[in-house]
Amino acid sequence: MSTDTNLVEHSDRWVLNLRGQRIARVSTDPHLTLSLDSGWDVGVESPALLSNGSVRTNPGLPLTPAAQDMTLQLLGASALSAVAFRSGALRMVFDTGLHLTCPGNSSVWKITGPRGWYFRSAPGGGLTVSPGSGPPHPAS
């Protein structure tokens, strides 16, 4: 199922309608890559945090080899929400209770989707978005 027609742009963020999309593949070599069964891919370099439960009470572990066991728990999980913020931050929540959080000022990540959708954190903060097959541009 393609979800690209259900993306919602707000003044401070994009809500990526990935709810219910299952993670079909997890790769940790050399960086974390999550491939969803709907044709979306999430690639995360660093820094990023992976937490279990509330991020308010458990800020999470950095994505390092020490967190690899937790990272592999994402396989088969379904997304509950995915939000790309104009600050360059990314937040994903999964039905297993795991949360993936990338800060906006220093994180390096990208999300690619069907029909050419492309979201990428910009160096130093910010978000680059390419809707469909058009060239990437900074999100205003």
Give per-residue pLDDT as tens, 53-79.
665 555 555 565 556 666 778 899 999
Residue that wins the pLDDT comparison between 96 and 134: 96
Both tokens of residue 137? 């541009």
Both tokens of 113, joined, read: 């989707």
Report the percent of the chain where pLDDT is more than 70. Answer: 77
Ranges of each domain in the chain: 4-138
- CA 106 vs CA 27, 31, 89, 90, 114: distances in Å: 22, 16, 9, 11, 27
Q: Buried b / exposed e across 3-19, counting CB within 10 Å, b at 16+?
A: bbeebeeeeebbebbbe
In this prediction, residue 79 carries a pLDDT of 95
Higher local confidence (pLDDT), 2 or 119: 119
pLDDT of residue 50: 80
Which CA distances in Å does 79 have to 20, 22, 45, 106, 137? 5, 6, 19, 24, 26
Pick 55 or 119 by higher pLDDT. 119
